[in-house]
Amino acid sequence: MAAQNESFPDLLVGRKNEINQLKSIMASKEAEFVVVYGRRRVGKTFLVNTFFNDSYAFKLTGLAKKSKRDQLTNFTASLNRYGNGKKFTKPRTWYEAFDKLRELLEANHSKGKRVVFIDELPWVDTRGSNLIPALEHFWNDWAVTQNDMVLIVCGSATSWITRKILKNRGGLHNRVTQKLYIRPFTLAECKEYIHSRGLEMDDKEVAECYMIMGGIPYYLKSLRRGASLAQNVDEMFFAERGRLDDEFDALYNSLFEKSENYIKVVEALSTKNKGLTREEILQATKLEMNGHFSKLLQNLIDCDFIRCYKGFGNKARKGIYQLIDPFTLFYYKFIKKFGHSDKPFWQYQMGTRQHDTWAGLAFEQLCLNHHQQIEKALGISGIITQVYSWTTPSDAMEKAQIDLIIQRADKVINVCEMKFYEGKYTMKVKDYEDMERRIRIFRETRDIHKAIHPVLVTTYGLTHNKYSHLFQNVITLKDLFE
Identify whether the C-beta of residue 270 lies closer than 8 Å to the C-beta of residue 332: yes
Residue 110 half-sphere exposure, CB side, CA atoms within 13 Å?
17
Residues of the chain below pLDDT 50: none
Q: Which helix H or strand E contains 453, and what residues bound it? A: strand 451-458
Q: Which helix H or strand E contains 456, and what residues bound it? A: strand 451-458
Which residue type does 81 have?
R
d(CA 313, CA 56) in angstroms, rounded, equals 53
Q: How far is CA 40 from the centre of its chain?
A: 9
- Beta carbons within 8 Å of 19's beta carbon, 6+ residues apart: 8, 9, 12, 51
pTM of the model: 0.90
Alpha helix segments (H runs only) across 145-246 = 158-160, 187-196, 203-213, 217-221, 229-233
d(CA 396, CA 417) in angstroms, rounded, equals 22
Identify whether the C-beta of residue 364 lies closer than 8 Å to the C-beta of residue 418: yes
Measured between alpha carbons, how far is residue 303 from residues 116, 282, 332 in Å? 25, 20, 18
What contacts 24+ positions apart, CB below 8 Å, involve 224-227?
A: 225/197, 225/198, 225/199
d(CA 154, CA 118) in angstroms, rounded, equals 6
d(CA 312, CA 168) in angstroms, rounded, equals 36
pLDDT for 123 equals 94
Which residue type does 144 have?
V
Measured between alpha carbons, how far is residue 345 from residues 234, 241, 326, 362 in Å? 6, 14, 19, 19
3-state secondary structure of 178: strand
Identify whether the C-beta of residue 452 lies closer than 8 Å to the C-beta of residue 411: no
d(CA 56, CA 52) in angstroms, rounded, equals 7
- Is the dihedral angle over the CA atoms 169, 171, 177, 181 positive or is it negative? negative
pLDDT for 3 equals 59
Strands 149-155 and 32-37: parallel
pLDDT for 336 equals 94
> Which of left, alpha, beta for 309 (phi over 0: left; psi -120 to 50: alpha)?
beta
pLDDT for 9 equals 52
d(CA 98, CA 368) in angstroms, rounded, equals 46
3-state secondary structure of 352: coil
Identify whether the C-beta of residue 4 lies closer than 8 Å to the C-beta of residue 52: yes
Measured between alpha carbons, how far is residue 367 from residues 95, 240, 274 in Å? 50, 33, 14
Phi, psi of 136 (to 5 degrees): -55, -50
In terms of Cα–Cα distance, which of 162, 227, 156, 177 is closest to 198? 227
* Structural domains of the chain sorted by starting position, each given as residue range(s) with its CATH number in brackets: 8-181 (3.40.50.300), 249-330 (1.10.10.10), 370-480 (3.40.1350.10)
Alpha helix segments (H runs only) across 310-457 = 326-330, 336-338, 345-349, 353-369, 371-377, 429-446
d(CA 144, CA 154) in angstroms, rounded, equals 18
- Beta carbons within 8 Å of 285's beta carbon, 6+ residues apart: 261, 264, 265, 268
Which residue type does 462 have?
L
Measured between alpha carbons, how far is residue 406 from residues 278, 322, 374, 415, 453 in Å? 25, 18, 10, 7, 10
pLDDT for 311 equals 75
Concatenating the DSSP letter of every residue in 26-72 gives HH-SS-EEEEEE-STTSSHHHHHHHHHTT--SEEEEPPTT--HHHHH
Strand partners, 453: 414
pLDDT for 469 equals 96
